[in-house]
């Protein structure tokens, strides 16, 4: 095995309580189905309630643990709504074993000079401000004697922003910086594994919007990412803490050594 790649294992997720943002579509949907099928109770957060209800029905039809639907507009992460969310999760479950920041919006693919600042602000609210606010509020539920996981879904442009990727690239760059800061702060004081995943080219609606001329069959389906992401969530995982992973399981530290 490459010393810079993680060895994937088959882990039990029975009884875990995991919150996934953007659960109703793409990578979030595939991951939610997979985690539920392996015994986790999934708290499905998103603004597309119809999509979340369809996902709920699919999980229940499979006989997996009953998930929870959390309607939440990440473009409006107001403090009062977040306090209500944390209180409801604490009352119902008492803790979290995992928090997966998957939700994101693309924004515009235009030169910066033509970029609408209103769109720029919205992209940052969804892709950066909301994950920061939710993480701060939910950290007490993740801080427990047993291992827990905080997973950020990023992008190749989050590590190295490129022309015409606008607010999306910059918001993901900021998100990776936040993950690095948090990893450094919590490494020696908690049992929380903080990881960043760059999915690479994946067959999602966002990918289609970014590359409309691309043949969808030429890129991998979201299911290809599941073994890695499941491994990073599992309490028994041997994956290192505080690392950025690509879709092949290769990794590098978030904080420069």
pLDDT greater at residue 165 or residue 56: 56
Backbone angles phi, psi at 101, to 5 degrees: -90, 95
pLDDT at 144 (0 to 100): 87
Domains of the chain: 17-253 (3.40.50.720)
Q: Which of 168, 173, 211, 243 is catalytic?
A: 168
For residue range 82-126, list pLDDT tens digits in order: 999 999 999 999 999 999 999 999 999 999 999 999 999 999 999
CB atoms within 10 A of CB 58: 15
Q: How confident is the model at residue 6 (pLDDT cuts 50, 70, 90)?
A: low
**Is pLDDT above 50 for 62?**
yes
pLDDT at 202 (0 to 100): 86
pLDDT at 2 (0 to 100): 44
pLDDT at 7 (0 to 100): 52
Residue showing tokens 């499905």:
44
Catalytic annotation on 168?
yes
Query: Distance between the two ends of the chain, CA-based, in angstroms?
Result: 23
């Amino acid at each position: 095995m490459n010393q810079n790649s993680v060895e994937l294992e088959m882990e039990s997720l029975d009884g875990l309580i995991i919150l996934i943002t953007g659960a109703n579509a793409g990578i979030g949907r595939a991951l939610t189905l997979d985690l539920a099928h392996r015994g986790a109770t999934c708290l499905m957060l998103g603004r597309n309630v119809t999509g979340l209800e369809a996902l709920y029905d699919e999980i229940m039809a499979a006989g997996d643990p009953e998930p929870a639907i959390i309607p939440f507009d990440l473009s409006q992460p107001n403090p009062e709504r977040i306090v209500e969310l944390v209180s409801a999760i604490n009352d119902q479950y008492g803790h979290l074993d995992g928090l997966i920041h998957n939700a994101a919006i693309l924004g515009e693919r235009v030169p910066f000079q033509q970029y609408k600042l209103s769109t720029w602000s919205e992209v940052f609210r969804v892709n950066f401000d909301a994950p920061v606010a939710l993480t701060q509020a939910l950290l007490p539920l993740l801080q427990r004697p047993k291992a827990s996981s905080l997973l950020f879904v990023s992008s190749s442009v989050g590590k190295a922003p490129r022309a015409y990727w606008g607010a999306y690239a910059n918001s993901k760059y900021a998100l990776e910086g936040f993950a690095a800061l948090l990893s450094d702060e919590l490494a020696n004081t908690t049992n929380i594994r903080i990881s960043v995943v760059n999915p690479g080219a994946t067959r999602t609606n966002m990918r289609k919007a970014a590359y409309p001329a691309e043949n969808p069959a030429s890129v991998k389906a979201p299911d290809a990412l599941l073994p890695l992401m499941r491994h990073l969530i599992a309490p028994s995982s041997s994956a290192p803490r505080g690392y950025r992973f690509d879709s092949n399981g290769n990794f590098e530290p978030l904080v420069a050594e």
